[in-house]
């Protein structure tokens, strides 16, 4: 399978989830072997690759960076890039985060599809997991298990009856991603909003882009697209985090109450031992 980038440059803008201000984002076609690169046009064009070893923070979103230059909440965009099977791309931003848009990955995916895709010279490689790798933190766990394709099994448990316990198994495909995972919106709890705002977070969260939970109720339930939207969004997050491996994974992701921090530790653990994986041509 050949590597792919987008066919033409495409731009959008919107409010940033945490920064709360308008951000302009441009997706730019890239040469083969570039990988996914983030560029801060507001900071002199500083850029860095979207890789697990560039993650600097995982509170309420995956943040990557180099030195003082950072880009946060990249997981939804990375999920869309992985869902569209794009290998090489430059993401240019004039601020610290991509715009949150609809709080899902579908809005990014539609942007990519609007740009179109084209093949590049060079072979698309994948990372095949050879043996089970697992990490734990309290009662949460995440694992990568040998498999013939990329698939996910994820379970979440929340005290709020609005979410409760949800579990989903899902096999990756571009079509399945668009229909079953990409539309699932991010979510948050009303009782945490004030403290998050004081910490400089969630200033761009709104009832238009975030499923808001108040006690046991979803305040803006009319936005729900799935009965189990919350676990679907967690799979969306996990796909975006796993895309930081630098190449598509051939593995089964198994998560129980896992989040961005544990997902990142999982990739570090995978690549810490060469016996855990091998590079192969993607089928």
Residues catalogued as catalytic: 260
Q: How far apart are CA 55 and CA 266, in angstroms?
A: 13
Q: What is the dihedral of CA 60, 65, 71, 75, to 10 degrees?
A: -50
DSSP collapsed to 3 states, 75-90: HHHHHHHHHCCCCCEE
> Residue 242's closest CA among 62, 2, 39?
62
Pairing label, strands 10-15, 211-214: unpaired
Structure tokens at 202: 């969630």
Query: On the CB side of 65, how many CA atoms lie within 13 Å of its CA?
Result: 17
> Residue 89's closest CA among 47, 57, 42?
47
Structure tokens at 97: 């985060």
DSSP state of 230: H
Is there a contact between 131 and 146 (Cβ–Cβ < 8 Å)?
yes
């Amino acid at each position: 399978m050949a590597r792919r980038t987008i066919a033409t440059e495409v731009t959008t803008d919107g409010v940033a989830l945490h920064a709360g201000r308008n951000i302009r984002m441009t997706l730019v076609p890239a040469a083969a072997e570039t990988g996914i690169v983030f560029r801060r046009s507001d900071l002199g064009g500083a850029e860095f690759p979207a890789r697990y070893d560039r993650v600097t923070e995982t509170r309420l979103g995956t943040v990557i960076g180099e030195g003082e230059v950072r880009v946060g909440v990249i997981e939804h965009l990375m999920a869309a890039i992985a869902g569209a099977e794009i290998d090489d791309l430059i993401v240019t931003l004039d601020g610290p985060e991509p715009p949150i848009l609809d709080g899902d990955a579908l809005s990014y995916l539609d942007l990519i599809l609007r740009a179109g895709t084209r093949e590049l010279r060079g072979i698309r490689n994948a990372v095949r997991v050879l043996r089970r790798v697992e990490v734990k933190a309290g009662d949460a766990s995440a694992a990568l298990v040998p498999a013939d394709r990329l698939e996910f099994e994820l379970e979440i448990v929340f005290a709020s009856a609005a979410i409760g316990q949800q579990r989903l198994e899902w096999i990756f495909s571009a079509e399945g991603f668009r229909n079953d995972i990409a539309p699932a919106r991010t979510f948050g709890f009303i009782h945490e909003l004030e403290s998050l705002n004081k910490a400089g977070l969630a200033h761009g969260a709104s009832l238009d882009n975030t499923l808001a939970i108040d006690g046991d109720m979803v305040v803006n339930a009319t936005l729900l697209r799935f009965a189990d939207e919350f676990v679907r969004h967690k799979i969306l997050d996990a796909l975006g985090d796993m895309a930081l491996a630098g190449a598509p994974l051939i593995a089964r992701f198994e998560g129980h109450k896992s989040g961005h921090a544990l997902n990142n530790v999982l990739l570090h653990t995978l690549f810490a031992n060469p016996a855990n994986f091998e590079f192969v041509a993607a089928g």
